[in-house]
Chain A
Amino acid sequence: MFGSTQLNRRNHSVQKLVSILFGVVTCLLVVPVLTIMTVLVYKGGPNISFEFLFSAPTNGMTAGGIFPALLGTIWLVVVALIFSVPLGVATAVYLSEYASDTWLTRLINLAIINLAGVPSIVHALFGLGAFVIFAGFGTSILAASLTLGIMTLPVVIVATRESLQAVPPEFRMACWGMGATRWQTIRKVVLPNAMSGILTGVILEVSRTAGETAPIMFTGAAFFLPFLPQGILDQTMAMSLHLFVVSTQVPGVPETLPYSVALVLVSMVLIMNAASIVLRAYVRGQKKW
């Protein structure tokens, strides 16, 4: 009575086929990248040593290490974070805790979407016009970091807003019921409960900032510097630009050197991202509500 008809069987086999087809296509998307990573590790891996990471490029950038670029990227990321994390978190707090659905809120959301969507080279033009020339910072870590910070602001805002909205409204109501002001509630109840989500966003922002090239090309990163930056008004080298330079601009670079630079850069970015994914999974497991 419940035996399958011919139509049932046909539907079933079509389903199998579609499922397998889509699975294969998804794998096709992932496989080339895993291959590429393998090539990067295979060609660039052997060259990486303690000395490679902690010495300066020598011999017209065809030999030596990457220390100035590594240090420069850390400078750029830290200064960008100092600026963008407080601003991003405050924006997210406004959108999640204060704003109601008005035209202003919609305008702010639209602005955030566009900040994320504007091409990186346009951010570079803005950084050059606003920070290097208009504000008079010159090509410096400060100008480059501000440009990077503005560009990656949406990452912090979106992650923070999501984690703030995941805090149950009952927590806030209980706190208001005790006679706390809105700000006291945010500081003592909402932010502590959303902290790990905010941290996830910050780590993601670090990885975005470390990998960007175009916005820092004209605002503060130099192809090569014989000295390390001493303060935020100095120029600096950076990992991303260093990869561009050794793979396209310098003649006579040994074949494996750019692979090593690329491998270090990709590792930095992917480790950061993996950390944020693990943290997010951990937080989800810990949630008691």
Chain B
Amino acid sequence: MNSDKKVLVCQDMDVRDSAWYWDKFFQILMLVSGVSAIFLIISIFFFITKEGFSFFFEPFSFREFFLSSVWRPTSLSNPSYGILALVIGTASVTGFAMLLAVPFSLCAAIFISEFASGRVREVLKVLVELLAAIPSVVWGFIGLSIMNPLIIDLFDVPVGLGILNSGIILGLMAAPIMTTIAEDALKAVPDHYREAAEALGATKWQVTFRVVLPAAKNGLVAAILLGIGRGFGETMAVLMTSGHSINLPTSPFDSVRALTATIAAELGETAVGSDHYRALFTLGILLFLVTFVINLTADIVVKGNKRH
């Protein structure tokens, strides 16, 4: 008897008035919005594949595409689609940028998170955040108009556009982002780790190098990975500072051409559906897949950290 009454009350509580329907309506609306992020990433892959996929049947050849350094898509008699030089261009610029950005941004992150305090820390954090906000086309312009003459003067070379210029600019662009992520990783190390080490008599730098850095290792690796992803996908700055000539580089002053820059420079001149157009979309598929893998790896590395 008693339990019957309880059931009755429960049914009474669930009033299906307009508020109940609005609640359900918005719950579904929010779910749809949430799922739209998945839908968007799938549709990005779908549409670039839709435009570029047929390139894999004709005139794609695996050997030529990955092993030839001759990228001559506009030739009427003998077009060639070898991306080796473009891949090496992207890799050399990104590699050079990381050579600069990784030590700088890790040091900056350690300084901001472990050594600086109060006002200094706040000011540095704001400056790093503002640095990260400068648009890539402005970085490209800086490379073109300020770095270029500087490199020509300093190293006595005819042209200042190349791996060196592009690498420095890209390094300056990637560093603030890496600094922010690395600093977050250091901040995530619980304070009682530091307190325990300090109680044992360790100095600040001993705490930092023996305790905090090992504990934050995964987050730091993720920061570097995301920086590489950023450098790899950067378009405008690389287009404007790398010299943009197809080249297998032998010195840091050599001009190179990057994958992203090739798409940006050539897509405007191609006819929709032509071989050249489809080849550029195929480069897009490649870029998408590589950055996807980099982001996925960074995510897994961070998740591994959280399980500890």
Contacts and interface: CB of A to CB of B under 8 A. Distances in A.
Interface of A: 11-12, 14-15, 18-19, 21-23, 25-26, 28-30, 32-33, 36, 39, 87, 90-91, 93-95, 97-99, 104, 107-108, 110-115, 117-126, 128-130, 133-134, 150, 153, 157, 181-184, 186, 207-208, 210-214, 217-218, 240-241, 243-244, 247-248, 258-259, 262, 265-266, 269-270, 272-274, 277
Interface in B215-241: 226, 229-230, 232-236, 240
Given A110-B296, A183-B26, A265-B135, A121 B264 contact: yes
A19 B116 CA distance: 9
B267 A29 contact: no
Interface in B127-156: 127-131, 133-138, 140-142, 144-146
A154 to B, nearest CB: 8
Contacts of B129: 273, 277
20 contacts: A14-B203, A15-B205, A25-B104, A25-B111, A28-B104, A30-B124, A114-B291, A118-B288, A134-B50, A183-B25, A211-B134, A218-B268, A240-B135, A243-B141, A244-B236, A258-B141, A258-B145, A266-B135, A270-B130, A277-B129
Interface stretch (B27-35, B58-66, B69-77, B190-198): B27-35
Nearest to B168: A32
B23 A121 contact: no
A77 B15 CA distance: 44
Given A22-B115, A98-B30, A115 B142 contact: no
Contact of B179 (A29, A32, A124): A29
A121 to B, nearest CB: 4
Nearest to B126: A277
B91 interface: no
A249 to B, nearest CB: 11
Contacts of A19: 111, 115, 204-205
B108 A26 contact: yes
Interface of B: 19-20, 22-23, 25-27, 29-31, 33-38, 40-41, 43-44, 47-48, 50-51, 103-105, 107-108, 110-112, 115-116, 124, 126-131, 133-138, 140-142, 144-146, 172, 175-176, 179, 203-206, 226, 229-230, 232-236, 240, 260, 263-264, 267-268, 272, 280-281, 284, 287-288, 291-292, 294-296, 299
Contacts of B287: 119, 121-122
Given A110-B299, A118-B288, A181 B22 contact: yes
A147 B134 CA distance: 20
